[in-house]
Amino acid sequence: MRVSLKDVAERAGVSIKTVSNVVNNYEHITPATREKVQRAIDALGYRPNLTARHLRKGRTGILALAVPELGNPYFAELAGAVLDAAAEHDYTVLLDHTQGRRARELLVTQGFRARVIDGLILNPLELEAEDLASRTDEVPLVLIGERRYDLPYDHIAIDNIAAARTAVRHLLDLGRRRIAFLGARGDRPSRPAHLRLLGWQAELAASGVPADETLVAPVEGWDRADGAAAMGALLDAGARPDAVFAYNDLIAIGAMRAMSERGLRVPEDIAVVGFDDLTEGRYGAVTLSTIAPDKRAIARLAVESIVKRLDGTASPAPHQLQPGFELVVRESTAGPAERASA
């Protein structure tokens, strides 16, 4: 038999309203009363009916998260962080896999789940500003990811240019001067690859180091094979960098494989910095130095933005929020001995 608020109230010797206030974490409950109710909850094994709670507010209790590729460890790790953040607000998360295709991204923004979800967190790759500007669905939308949009939606994204400059600065501080960038895509100015390339260029220029465009390697995609192919093509063309800044960790890992196959050592011959701080980068034969976006903060801010929109506590103006990032130094730039003493 399901335990009710009434059962908890009778055991604790308080009113049903008091139990409800404790369950909903309302203020102005004395510590003694809160403790007494909590003991009754624990003893009876009471579990709140979250569905009923949401329905009373005219909601479903479900958020949607739409990402380009769940097979990419970055998006898998980010999705896990969103699930955790949503659970703190008693929300369930429905995952959508857009495959980075414009048609799929349009579908998730145009209300095909409007009766199912209370809010949408979207990481778009192919949508343009006009696609989102024409959106008529009233379900709150929060954008994540580093594509820049001048639109009336909350947007959670790290500063890509600053992050790229931090990576390049680290390599310059190590005495490296021929620093390649792996990840060029001919992207438009608003896209992450272009922003990280701008960061590469800006930090080299600020340090008085010429930006050698022959060290900018294009990639077809964002996976390990793309990094290996780009690095192999760079080396086979006679370009010999002494460092690599890769668009993401997967490209960096693929690039290190291509270096190894050609007898090059990391970091002795070529130092490498990736981007994303994937778990995989911590367990290779050479651990990967990387830019680590604060995925927990991205997830928390995205969920909180939707909850505030739903509760009516957010300001009308859209928020452009920038979570932090940090440089994590590992063996691919420091080497085992230096890393151990750091």
Could you tell me if residue 52 is inside a domain?
no
Question: Does an H or E element contain 3, and which?
Answer: none
Would residue 298 count as lying in a domain?
A: yes
Extract the tokens encoding 201: 């260029």
Lowest-confidence range among 173-182, 269-278, 306-315?
306-315
DSSP assignments along 92-156, one per residue: EEEEEE-TT-HHHHHHHHTTTTTTT-SEEEE--SS--HHHHHT----S-EEEESS----SSSEEE
**Phi, psi torsion values for 271, nearest 5 degrees:** -85, 150
Return phi, psi of residue 324, to 5°: -85, 175
Rg (CA), the chain: 24
Residue 20: is its pLDDT beyond 80?
no
Residue 337 has pLDDT above 50, yes or no: no
C-alpha dihedral (72, 77, 78, 83), degrees to nearest 10: 130
β-strands 179-184, 243-246 pairing: parallel
Mean local confidence (pLDDT), 37-55: 70
Do 154 and 168 share a domain, yes or no? Answer: no
For the record, the structure tokens of 107 come out as 């579908």
Which pLDDT score, from 0 to 100, does residue 53 have?
Answer: 53
Residues 170 and 280 in one domain: yes
Q: Are residues 139 and 241 in the same domain?
A: no
Out of 80-89, 161-170, 285-294, 324-333, least confident range: 80-89
Q: Does residue 224 sit in the same domain as residue 84?
A: no
1 pLDDT more than 80:
no
Whole-number Å distance between alpha carbons of 120 and 93: 10
Q: What is the mean pLDDT of residues 44-52?
A: 65
pTM of the full predicted structure? 0.80
Residue 340 clears pLDDT 50, i.e. is over it? no
pLDDT of residue 283: 94
Is 341's pLDDT higher than 50?
Answer: no
- Whether 252 and 139 map to the same domain: the answer is no
Total tally of structural domains belonging to the chain: 3
Residues 131 and 97 in one domain: yes
Give the residue numbers spanning the domain of 137.
64-158+294-311
228: domain CATH number is: 3.40.50.2300
The CA distance from 202 to 162, in Å, is: 9
Task: Give the separation between CA 69 and CA 79, rounded to whole angstroms.
Answer: 11
pLDDT at 336: 60
Q: How far apart are CA 291 and CA 283, in angstroms?
A: 16
Contact 201, 211 (CB under 8 A): yes
Q: Do both 288 and 173 map to the same domain? A: yes
Q: What's the confidence (pLDDT) of residue 17? A: 81
| Spatial distance between the Cα atoms of 156 and 121, rounded to a whole number of angstroms | 10
CB 224 within 8 A of CB 258: no
- Do 114 and 170 lie in one domain? The reply is no
339, pLDDT greater than 50 = no
DSSP states along 41-71? HHHHT----HHHHHHHTT--SEEEEEES-TT
